[in-house]
Structure 1
Amino acid sequence: MQQESLAVPVSAIASDERRIIVAASLGTVFEWYDFFLYGSLAAVIAAQFFSSLNTTTAFIFALLIFAAGFVVRPIGALVFGRLGDLAGRKKTFLLTIVIMGTSTLCVGLLPSYNDIGVAAPIILVLLRMLQGLALGGEYGAAATYVAEHAPSDRRGAWTAWVQTTSTIGLLLSLVVVISVRALTGPAFESWGWRVPFLFSGVLLATSVYVRMSMHESPAFQRIKSQGKTSPAPISEAFGQWRYLKLSLQALFGLLAGQAVVWFTALFYAMFFLTQTLKLNPVTTNMLVGMALVISTPLYILFGKLSDRIGRKPVILAGCLLAALTLFPIFRGFTMYANPALAAAQRSAPIVIASDPADCAFQFNPTGTASFSSSCDIARRALSALSANYDSERLAAGATTRIRIGATDIEAPTVRDLTPVAAKAAEARFQRDVAKALATAGYPSKADPAAVNLPMLLLLLVILMAFGAMTLAPMAAILVEMFPTRIRYTAMSLPYHIGNGYFGGFLPTICFALVTQSGDIYFGLWYPVIVALASTAIGALFIRERRNQDIALED
Structure 2
Amino acid sequence: MADANFDAAGVDGEISASDVRLVITASSLGTVFEWYDFFIYGTLAGLIGAAFFPSDNETLQILLVWAGFAVGFGFRPLGAVLFGFLGDRLGRKYTFLVTVTLMGIATAGVGLIPSAATIGIAAPIIVLVLRVLQGLALGGEYGGAAVYVAEHAPPEKRGFYTSFIQASVVGGFVLSIAVVLGCRFVIPPEDFASWGWRVPFLLSLALLAISLWMRFKLSESPVFRAMKDAGETAQNPFVESFTYPGNKWRIFVALFGVTGSLTTIWYTAFFSSLSFLKGPMRVEPLTVELILFAVGIIAMPLYVIVGRISDRVGRKLPIVIGQALSLVLLFPAFHFIGSMANPGLEASAQSAPVVVAGPDCSYDPFADAQATPCGRLIEDLTVFGVAYDLQESPSLTLSIGDVSETIADYPAQDAPARRAALQERLTAGGYDFSLQTPGWGRIAGIVGALVMLSALSALTYGPVAALLAEMFPPRIRYSSMSIPYHIGAGYFGGFLPLIASYIIARTGNAYAGLWYTWAFMAIGLVVAIFGLKGGPPRDFEEA
- TM above 0.5, yes or no, is yes
Which residue of structure 1 lines up, in the alignment, with residue 496 of structure 2? 506
Which residue of structure 2 lines up, in the alignment, with residue 238 of structure 1? 242
- Checking the alignment, whether the CA contact within 8 Å between 1:295 and 1:461 is kept in structure 2 is yes
Which aligned pairs between 1:431-470 and structure 2 lie closer than 5 A?
A: 431-448=420-437, 450=439, 452-470=442-460
- Checking the alignment, whether the CA contact within 8 Å between 2:357 and 2:398 is kept in structure 1 is yes
Match of 2:505 among 503, 515, 528: 515
- 1:109 to 2:112 alignment: yes
Residue type at the aligned position of 1:268: S
1:384-427, Cα deviation, whole Å (9 max, x unpaired):
00001112232xxx23322112333445677xxxxxx7322x44
Residue type at the aligned position of 1:337: A
Match of 1:77 among 65, 75, 80: 80
Which residue of structure 1 lines up, in the alignment, with residue 301 of structure 2? 297
The CA distance in 2 between the partners of 1:225 and 1:360, in whole Å, is 65
- Checking the alignment, whether the CA contact within 8 Å between 1:378 and 1:400 is kept in structure 2 is no
- Checking the alignment, whether the CA contact within 8 Å between 1:337 and 1:450 is kept in structure 2 is no
The CA distance in 2 between the partners of 1:334 and 1:77, in whole Å, is 37
The CA distance in 1 between the partners of 2:243 and 2:35, in whole Å, is 31
The CA distance in 2 between the partners of 1:449 and 1:27, in whole Å, is 36
- 1:402 to 2:402 alignment: no
The CA distance in 2 between the partners of 1:130 and 1:168, in whole Å, is 22
Which aligned pairs between 1:208-219 and structure 2 lie closer than 5 A?
A: 208-219=212-223
Which residue of structure 2 lines up, in the alignment, with residue 258 of structure 1? 262
Residue type at the aligned position of 1:374: P
1:206-229, Cα deviation, whole Å (9 max, x unpaired):
111111111100000000000000
- Checking the alignment, whether the CA contact within 8 Å between 2:6 and 2:474 is kept in structure 1 is no
- 1:132 to 2:131 alignment: no
The CA distance in 2 between the partners of 1:449 and 1:5, in whole Å, is 55
Q: Greater CA deviation, 45-54 or 504-513?
A: 45-54
Which residue of structure 2 lines up, in the alignment, with residue 48 of structure 1? 51
Which residue of structure 2 lines up, in the alignment, with residue 480 of structure 1? 470
Structure 2 vs 1, CA of residues 247 and 328 (structure 1 numbering), >3 Å: closer, same or farther? same
- Checking the alignment, whether the CA contact within 8 Å between 1:256 and 1:502 is kept in structure 2 is yes
- 1:93 to 2:96 alignment: yes
- 1:33 to 2:36 alignment: yes
Which residue of structure 2 lines up, in the alignment, with residue 7 of structure 1? 8
- Checking the alignment, whether the CA contact within 8 Å between 2:57 and 2:369 is kept in structure 1 is no
Identity percentage over the alignment? 40
Question: How big is the shift at 1:239?
Answer: 3.5
Question: SS of the residue aligned with 1:352?
Answer: strand
Q: Greater CA deviation, 402-411 or 276-285?
A: 402-411
- Checking the alignment, whether the CA contact within 8 Å between 1:362 and 1:512 is kept in structure 2 is no
- Checking the alignment, whether the CA contact within 8 Å between 1:43 and 1:59 is kept in structure 2 is yes
- Checking the alignment, whether the CA contact within 8 Å between 2:59 and 2:505 is kept in structure 1 is no
1:333-391, Cα deviation, whole Å (9 max, x unpaired):
11111111111111111111133xx1335331xx5x64221221111010000001112
Question: How big is the shift at 1:15?
Answer: 2.3
- Checking the alignment, whether the CA contact within 8 Å between 1:156 and 1:303 is kept in structure 2 is yes
Structure 2 vs 1, CA of residues 54 and 148 (structure 1 numbering), >3 Å: closer, same or farther? same
Residue type at the aligned position of 2:15: I
Question: How big is the shift at 1:157?
Answer: 0.7
Question: How big is the shift at 1:272?
Answer: 0.4
Question: How big is the shift at 1:6?
Answer: 4.8
Question: How big is the shift at 1:324?
Answer: 1.2
The CA distance in 1 between the partners of 2:180 and 2:113, in whole Å, is 18
Which residue of structure 1 lines up, in the alignment, with residue 201 of structure 2? 197
**Over aligned residue pairs, what C-alpha RMSD do you find?**
1.9
Which residue of structure 2 lines up, in the alignment, with residue 17 of structure 1? 19
The CA distance in 2 between the partners of 1:409 and 1:238, in whole Å, is 62
Question: SS of the residue aligned with 2:385?
Answer: coil
The CA distance in 2 between the partners of 1:280 and 1:206, in whole Å, is 34
Q: TM-score, normalised by structure 1?
A: 0.93
Structure 2 vs 1, CA of residues 230 and 361 (structure 1 numbering), >3 Å: closer, same or farther? farther
- Checking the alignment, whether the CA contact within 8 Å between 2:265 and 2:457 is kept in structure 1 is yes
